[in-house]
Structure 1
Amino acid sequence: MDFKQIGKALRIDVFKILAYSNGSVWLLVLLPLVFAVVPGMMGKESVLYPMSGAVTGMLTFVSAMAGMSVFSYEDQTGSAKLNGLLPVSRRNQVVGRYAFALLVVVVAVVLQMICGMMMFRLRRMGAVAGLMTTVLVASPILAGIYLPIGYRFPATKAVGYAIILLFVIGGALVLVAFTVPDAVLNNVMDFVTSAKLGPIPWVAIIGILVAAVIFVLSCRLSMHIYERKEL
């Protein structure tokens, strides 16, 4: 790997997402903060928890789809064919895009921390840490699933497949929530929160490790696909 080439590929992807969003990227940054202000001012738990879940879901989905937005930009502008002319190898282009996806995840986690502190006002930092961990785990896993799809299929199909996959995953989670008895879910949650390595729950450590493994394997799969793809 050539880190200079990876850095160049990362900068190009940042430029592409800014050009593709046409300024709306700043709206996506501000929107979660707006969603966090009102519940934080009201201070009602009946509002806080649903809204905190909505903010977490928004940040997870938007950050996971960032890489797909770059594919959409390339498809609309026809710039994907120009990638072969870049002084960056295909492998380093892929690593650069995964570095870009990881950068967006870091931004999403920081935004989640700010939103959580605005909503819970330092009263429940454990809840804030849990929401941050959710984004840190779920977003790289989804990005790791989405990016190989983006390299394998045209952007329009890839985005469609990604949205369908999101609905399938969301539907499966809703199905589990409604079919599994509350007593079982409570026992699972009690185990998750009580099993800790120092102050950190085991589930957070395992989740981060699983996300890292999926992300790395996804990167290798995308390299395999892209190196054999005709531009």
Structure 2
Amino acid sequence: MKAIAKQIRLDMQRCSGGTGGYWPGVLLLIAAPLAGVVLKGVLVVTGHNQDGNIDLVSGLVTGFCVAGAAAMQIQLFIEFSSSAARLNGIVPISRDHQVLGRYSAVMLLVLAQCCSLAIYLRIAGGQPWKGSDPWQAATLFTLAIFVLEMLLFALAAPLFYWLEPVKALRALLVLFALIALVGIVLAWLPMDWGTLMTKLGRFLTRDLWKPVTLGLAIVLLANLVSAGVSSRVYARREID
């Protein structure tokens, strides 16, 4: 546990650009929700707090949150790939502890970001789904963002362990294109997607503990599998 905790601190520093502390990285991730609260205050003071403006601010905040998390994770691997910076995580931390610590660090950062996003949604009054319970809507929306970001990390991390950052980004873009192509093909299938989405929506809004438990289980399973793959790829890369 001590080795994993040390790796978490090292990766927090890497996410902050090697500044020597990890708070800059955390502050960067919660900057968008804080800016959204300020913008909401400006809209209220100036009398422009219509639903359309609030929705626009909420969309911008969410977009910057996802983009900020992606940029932070890429920065982590760029710092890790440099010959000087990567040495500070090797001794006395084993390879498996490095990988588990890195996944844990990203999960903590994304969790902090999603918590700040949920607080923003409640303070700013933005509701992802109109007419729904505010707390339930905020929880489900931020849960969806958390699951999305952690699944993307689980998908991308093995590529960054295997390839250099630039090559890994290219491979990731190709992978996203393939996923989009599969989505288009599925959309053409003769299935009643409207009915399926309605049933899914009812399941998600009936009992809050069900989607939360399911989402966290999916994230945990996906990242454990991804961490195992990353550890093997990392070991093979060191041998090569």
| TM-score, length-scaled by structure 1 | 0.77
2:42 equivalent to 1:34: no
2:123 to 115, 118, 126: 118
2:62 equivalent to 1:62: no
Rounded to whole Å, the distance in 1 between the matches of 2:50 and 2:219 is 33
| Conservation of the 8 A alpha-carbon contact between 2:5 and 2:101 | yes
Q: Which residue of 1 aligns with 2:217?
A: 209
What count of residue pairs does the alignment treat as equivalent?
226
2:110 equivalent to 1:101: no
Rounded to whole Å, the distance in 1 between the matches of 2:138 and 2:208 is 13
Deviation of 1:135 after TM superposition, in Å, equals 1.6
Rounded to whole Å, the distance in 2 between the matches of 1:153 and 1:58 is 27
Cα deviation code 1:170-192 (max 9, x no counterpart): 7887x69x989xxx665444322
Give the direction of change, closer, same or farther, for the CA distance of 1:200–1:25 in structure 2 (3 Å limit): closer
Worse-superposed segment, 149-158 or 15-24? 15-24
| Conservation of the 8 A alpha-carbon contact between 2:4 and 2:97 | yes
Q: 1:88 is paired with a residue of what secondary structure?
A: coil
Q: Which residue of 1 aligns with 2:6?
A: 8
Deviation of 1:203 after TM superposition, in Å, equals 4.8
Rounded to whole Å, the distance in 1 between the matches of 2:97 and 2:125 is 41
| Conservation of the 8 A alpha-carbon contact between 2:80 and 2:86 | yes
Q: Which residue of 1 aligns with 2:85?
A: 79
Deviation of 1:109 after TM superposition, in Å, equals 1.3
| Conservation of the 8 A alpha-carbon contact between 2:13 and 2:19 | no
Q: 1:87 is paired with a residue of what secondary structure?
A: coil
Q: Which residue of 2 aligns with 1:48?
A: 54
Give the direction of change, closer, same or farther, for the CA distance of 1:142–1:26 in structure 2 (3 Å limit): same
- Which amino acid in the other structure matches residue 110 of structure 2? V
| Conservation of the 8 A alpha-carbon contact between 1:102 and 1:140 | yes
Give the direction of change, closer, same or farther, for the CA distance of 1:159–1:20 in structure 2 (3 Å limit): farther
Rounded to whole Å, the distance in 2 between the matches of 1:82 and 1:230 is 16
2:202 equivalent to 1:194: yes
Give the direction of change, closer, same or farther, for the CA distance of 1:141–1:196 in structure 2 (3 Å limit): closer
Q: Which runs of 4+ in 1 moved over 6 A?
A: 170-173
| TM-score, length-scaled by structure 2 | 0.75
Give the direction of change, closer, same or farther, for the CA distance of 1:198–1:127 in structure 2 (3 Å limit): closer
- Provide structure 1 residue ranges, at least 5 long, that are not aligned to the other structure: none
Rounded to whole Å, the distance in 1 between the matches of 2:117 and 2:38 is 13
| Conservation of the 8 A alpha-carbon contact between 1:91 and 1:227 | no
| Percent identity (aligned) | 21
Cα deviation code 1:115-170 (max 9, x no counterpart): 21122179722321122111221111011011111101012222344455557667
Could you say what the CA RMSD is over the residues aligned between the two structures, in angstroms?
3.6
Q: Which residue of 2 aligns with 1:17?
A: 15
- Which amino acid in the other structure matches residue 55 of structure 2? Y
Q: 2:238 is paired with a residue of what secondary structure?
A: coil
| Conservation of the 8 A alpha-carbon contact between 2:118 and 2:142 | yes
Deviation of 1:29 after TM superposition, in Å, equals 2.7
Worse-superposed segment, 16-25 or 102-111? 16-25
Q: Which residue of 2 aligns with 1:145?
A: 155
- Provide structure 2 residue ranges, at least 5 long, that are not aligned to the other structure: 128-132
